[in-house]
Structures are given as C-alpha cells and as structure tokens.
Structure 1
Amino acid sequence: MNKQQYHPWLFKIALATTIATLPLMIVGGHVTTEGYGMAFPDWPTSDGENMLTYSWLHEASDKFYEHGHRLLGMLVGFLSIALVIIAFKVEEKKWIRNTCLLVLACVIVQGVLGGTRVTENSKALAMAHGIFGACVFTLMAFLTMVTGKRWIEISNDPPQLTPGYGRRLAITVPLVVLFQYFLGGCLRHFNVGLHPHMSFAFVALIFVIIEFRSARKSGIKWLKRPAMGMLHIGIFQILLGFAAWITKFGLPAAGFVATAGSWEQSLSRTAHLITGILFLMTTILYSARVFRLHQLNKNNVIDAGQNLSPTDTLPNAEGNA
C-alpha cells in the first residue's frame, strides 16, 4: 500500500484557499445582515460594467460591500484553479486530486448560486447560497487538514481506539449542527423560527459536550484538542446568539433599547453567522479524525494478519497463544 506523501506547496495552496474564503464569508455575512445583496440588479457584471474594471472604492456602502464580496469570490476561484493544477502535478493519491476537483466545482456552483440569487432576486437562493458556502468552506478546511503533515504522520503510529468508538457521535453531531445552521438560515432570511433556533442551540451544545467527554476519556491528543476547540466555539456561539437577540429585541430589564441598523446589531449578527460556520467545520473535522483512526487501526490489523507465518497463530478469545 503506497503511503501518502507530504507536499508542502499543495498544503500551502489548500491553506491559502481556506484562509481567503474566511474574509469572503465575513463580507458576505455583512452583506446579508445589512440587506446589501441586491445592491446590483445584474450579474456577472456590476451596473453593466466588467467586474474587474468597475470603480467601486468610493461607492455607497451597499455597492462597496457587495462588489468587494464579488471580487473576493473571484480570488477564491483563482486559488481553487491553482489548487487543482498543483494537485495534479505533485499528488499521486487519486482521492486527494478528486477532492481538489470537488473544491473547484463547489466554488463554481457557489458563484452561480450567488449570481442567480441576484438575477432572480430570490431569498430562497440567498439562503441556499449561505448554507452551501458553509459546506464549501468546511470542504476546504478538510482538504487542508488531509494534506498537512500531522494527518500523514499519524499513520506511522496511530493511537488505538476501541472498536466502534465515537462513530455514532461522529455522524450525529455534524448533522445536528447542520440542522441548527439551517434553522439559523430560516431566521436570518425569512425571519421565522426564532424559538426553534434558540431551543435547538442547547440540543446541539449537549451533543458537543457528550462528544468532548468521549474525546477526553480516549486520552488521544489528536482528538482531545479539536474537541476542546469545538466545545469552546459552541459555547461562544450561544453567547453570540444572545448578543444578537439582545441587539435586535433589546433588554428592557437592563434599560437597553435595541436600535435597528446599529453597529452592535450588525457586528453581533455577522459574528454569530461566521462562528456558526466555524462550529460546523470543527465538528466535521473532528469526525474525520475519528474515522481516520478507525481506518488506520483496521489496516494495522489486516497487515498484522498478512505478516503471520504459516506456523504463527493469532491469540484466542482468552488471550492465550
């Protein structure tokens, strides 16, 4: 079995693509928060002009942020193309090359979704654009992780997991968080589902706490560290949710009156959105690590069986030779 090799430039371009997507999402989140999505009635042009030659730096806030969002999207597109080129030049693993192709395809689809949202003036497409964007960012982060040194080096001496450890949680938790993100999208774009979104946030946090306790009991640092990050992000996300609620509806008991369009409201809502994306990402990356260790343990058992000589025997159920 050919082992995966570390390719510095592939990892660097995967990391650059992921990092470049973060400001794209922040600006996109601000565009949605402020309702700037229809600043231009056309796409892929901006006010009928070429996107690259359009003079936007001195435009009003809506066109400034929306056009900036479009330009950042183009940057991520170019980086995704470079990612595919480098992958096919240096990487031997077919599944990694295919993942790079998938990233590029998803970036193209995401761009078309965003443009169609404008031409159709559709809130449903705006919501789909936001949810799919979170999934694309997570895919980029996954690619960055699997092309990194630690992912490759862990195969040399993988920690041992008990059979079946964490698999159900590794499937359930990302689905729970994704559903919570969907509820947030309904609230953000259609102003419905406030109470389900707020209530289910605690359900998602409970699942994350259970998964964190499971990771801590395993004693494996490669699992404990991302699980700790996942828990911290989950708690911070709930606090941001409260901040978004207070800045939108106020807190009469404390004498705080909400002001529509205030910078506090804009900041808290956009931060809540971005943290939600990071929350989803960390749950999926943790799950990928769990399944990675199970696969490595399984491969080691198979290799050990193949290396036995005809006179060797495996231990019986009582552990005796």
Structure 2
Amino acid sequence: MNQQQYHPWLFKLALATAIATLPLMIVGGHVTTEGYGMAFPDWPTSDGQNMLTYSWLDRAADKFYEHGHRLLGMLVGFLSIALVIVAFKVEQKKWIKSVCIAVLVCVIIQGILGGTRVTENSKALAMAHGLFGACVFTLMAFLAMVTGKRWIEIGNDPPELPVGPRGLPYGYGLRLAIYVPLVVLFQYFLGGFLRHFQKGLHPHMSFAFVVLIFVIIEFRSARKSEIKWLKRPAMGMLHISIFQILLGFGAWITKYGLPAAGFVATAGSWEQSIFRTAHLITGILFLMTATLYSIRVFRLSWLNKYINAQSEQTLSATDSLPNSEGNA
C-alpha cells in the first residue's frame, strides 16, 4: 500500500475553501429565510450590470444580501480553481486529484443551479440549490479531512477495530455508518421542503426524533470501539443533533407562536430570522459530521482488513518455508 504524503498547502487551501463556504451558506440561508432570492430578476448580471462592478453596499437589504451571496459564491469558485491547480502540482494520489476536480465541478453546478433558480423563478430549483449546497460543503470537508495529517497518520498506524458478532470488523457499526447519513439527509430534505413550500411540518418534527435515536445508537457504538478518532466526532454529532432539535423548537415558536405561554409570533421578526437560519446551517453541519464519521468507520474497517490480509499472507509464506530440522 503506497503511503500518502502530507502537503501543507493543499490541506490549507482545502480547509480555506470549506471555511469560505460557511459565510456563503449563512448569507444564502438568510436570503432564503427573508425571501430575498428574487431580489434580481437576472443572472449572471445584477440589474443588468457586471457582477464585479455592481454598486451594492448602499442598496436595500434584499439586493445587498443577494448580491453579497453571489460575490461569496465567486470567491469559493476561485478557491476551488486554485485547489485543483495546487493538487495537480503537489499531489501524487489520483483519487485526491479527482476529489479536487469534483469539488470544482460541483461548485460550478451549484452556481448554475442558483442562477437558473433566479431566471426560472423556481422554488423547486431553490430547494435543489440548498440541498446540493449541503452536499458540496460535505465534499469540501471530506477533502480537508483526507489531506490532513491525522488522516495520513491513521493510515500509517490504524487502531484495531473490535470484531462484531459475525466476525466482521466493528459489527453493526458498519451498517449504522450507512444508515445515519441517509436518515440525516432525508431529514434535511424534509426541512427544505418545509422551508420552501411550507408543507410537511409534522413529518419533519417527528422524524427529528428518529434521527436522534439513530445518532444515540451510533454514539454508543463509537464508545464501544474505544477509538478517539471515532468517539470525538460521534460525541460532536450527538451534541449537534440535540442542539438542532432545540433550534428547530425555537424556529417553530418564533414562526407559529406559543399561545399557552402567551407568546405571539411576529412575522419577519429578527428572532424568527436568526432561529430559522441557524437551524438551516446547523443541519448542514449535522449532515457533514455524520458523513465524515461514517467515512472514518469504513476507512478503519478497510485498513484492518488490509492489515489482516497482509498478516495472513506473511504467515502462509512462513509456513511454506522448509523446516530446518527436517532438512538436516
């Protein structure tokens, strides 16, 4: 197995691309929350002007935030291009180069989705734009993880996974690593449907507790492994899921009110905007964390199988050597 080398500039650029995407998503979430998505009827121009020369700092809130969102998208696009250039200069692993190219392609697709949402004035495309954006951010976070030192160190000296009831490494933890990101993604889809079409409130609220149960089970599975590389993100995932439910409750109260407590919701209030946008961003971070945790599980499983296979080959080769006493 060819060992991966650490390239600090590639890692830093991958991390910077993911970090730069956070304000892009926050502003994009605020745009959706406040209904600013159609502040401009055109794209890629803004009010018929070049996006880079358009004077936007003194504009009304809708144009200010929407144009800021577009400029942040351009910044992420430039960082993605630089990422590919640096990867092809320093990285030897073809699959990492492929991931860098995938990030750039996905950023381009995401930009086209956002622009087409404007030109078509489509809520369905707005929802697809948000859902795909969460997946693109997760891909960026994955790239930052696999170019980091810890990923390489784990590959060189992987901790041993406990053996499950069927003799497979990690037992049911592997199955959970498949199910949990899928249920989180489905919950994010339900949230997007509610956000854009104002339908599906009860399924979204009910399924949140189903997701929480899955996360608790996976957290317990990670604790049994006694591996810090798994236990820490599993703990983070549990905390995020609980915080996300609390944010969802806050978004519900600020939108629909709580008559029993005498609280009346005010449409367009700053509390409503903060809770709804924070709920959206935390959902994206939740999806990212669940996915990266699952990738870690499968990586450790593969490394353990590889090491075991190498050990068996070594033992077989040793057993096949002639016995010195028998040939004396």
**Residue 215 of structure 1 aligns with which residue?**
222
**Residue 294 of structure 2 aligns with which residue?**
287
**Residue 206 of structure 1 aligns with which residue?**
213
Deviations 1:33-68 (A, max 9, x none): 000000000000000000000000000000000000
* CA pair 298-164 structure 1, distance change in 2 beyond 3 A: closer
Query: Does the 8 A contact of 2:138 with 2:287 survive in 1?
Result: yes
* CA pair 41-311 structure 1, distance change in 2 beyond 3 A: closer
Structure 1 segments unaligned to the other structure (5+ residues): 314-321
Query: Does the 8 A contact of 2:3 with 2:156 survive in 1?
Result: no
Counterpart AA for 1:178: L
The total of aligned residue pairs comes to 313
**Residue 126 of structure 1 aligns with which residue?**
126
Distance (whole Å) between structure 2 residues aligned to residue 73 and residue 177 of structure 1: 25
**Residue 181 of structure 1 aligns with which residue?**
188
What's the Cα RMSD here? 0.9
Deviations 1:117-159 (A, max 9, x none): 0000000000000000000000000000000000000122211
1:260 positional shift: 0.1
**Residue 65 of structure 1 aligns with which residue?**
65
**Residue 101 of structure 1 aligns with which residue?**
101
Distance (whole Å) between structure 1 residues aligned to residue 118 and residue 125 of structure 2: 9
1:308 positional shift: 3.4
**Residue 160 of structure 1 aligns with which residue?**
160
Distance (whole Å) between structure 2 residues aligned to residue 256 and residue 306 of structure 1: 69
The answer on 1:172 being equivalent to 2:188 is no
Counterpart AA for 1:308: L
Distance (whole Å) between structure 1 residues aligned to residue 56 and residue 318 of structure 2: 77
Distance (whole Å) between structure 2 residues aligned to residue 269 and residue 155 of structure 1: 40
Distance (whole Å) between structure 1 residues aligned to residue 258 and residue 144 of structure 2: 42
Counterpart AA for 1:103: V
Distance (whole Å) between structure 2 residues aligned to residue 153 and residue 311 of structure 1: 29
Q: Secondary structure at the match of 1:44?
A: coil
- TM-score where L is the length of structure 2: 0.94
Q: Secondary structure at the match of 2:319?
A: coil
**Residue 30 of structure 2 aligns with which residue?**
30
Distance (whole Å) between structure 2 residues aligned to residue 65 and residue 310 of structure 1: 66
* CA pair 303-195 structure 1, distance change in 2 beyond 3 A: same
Counterpart AA for 1:203: V
Distance (whole Å) between structure 2 residues aligned to residue 310 and residue 189 of structure 1: 62
Query: Does the 8 A contact of 2:169 with 2:304 survive in 1?
Result: no
**Residue 306 of structure 2 aligns with which residue?**
299
Deviations 1:166-203 (A, max 9, x none): 11000000000000000001100000000000000000
Counterpart AA for 2:237: M
**Residue 323 of structure 2 aligns with which residue?**
none
Match of 1:252 among 245, 249, 259: 259
Q: Secondary structure at the match of 1:5?
A: coil
**Residue 86 of structure 1 aligns with which residue?**
86
Distance (whole Å) between structure 1 residues aligned to residue 14 and residue 182 of structure 2: 25
Q: Secondary structure at the match of 1:154?
A: helix
Deviations 1:55-109 (A, max 9, x none): 0000000000000000000000000000000001101000000000000000000
User: Where does structure 1 differ by over 3 angstroms across 4 or more consecutive aligned residues?
Assistant: 308-311
Q: Which moved further from structure 2: 159-168 or 137-146?
A: 159-168
1:2 positional shift: 1.4
**Residue 141 of structure 1 aligns with which residue?**
141
The answer on 1:226 being equivalent to 2:233 is yes
Match of 1:243 among 247, 250, 267: 250
1:312 positional shift: 2.5
Distance (whole Å) between structure 2 residues aligned to residue 93 and residue 101 of structure 1: 13
Deviations 1:266-295 (A, max 9, x none): 000000000000000000000000001011
**Residue 203 of structure 2 aligns with which residue?**
196
1:309 positional shift: 6.2
Distance (whole Å) between structure 2 residues aligned to residue 213 and residue 81 of structure 1: 40
Q: Secondary structure at the match of 1:87?
A: helix
- TM-score where L is the length of structure 1: 0.96
Distance (whole Å) between structure 2 residues aligned to residue 158 and residue 263 of structure 1: 48
The answer on 1:13 being equivalent to 2:13 is yes
Deviations 1:199-236 (A, max 9, x none): 00000010000000000111110000000000000000
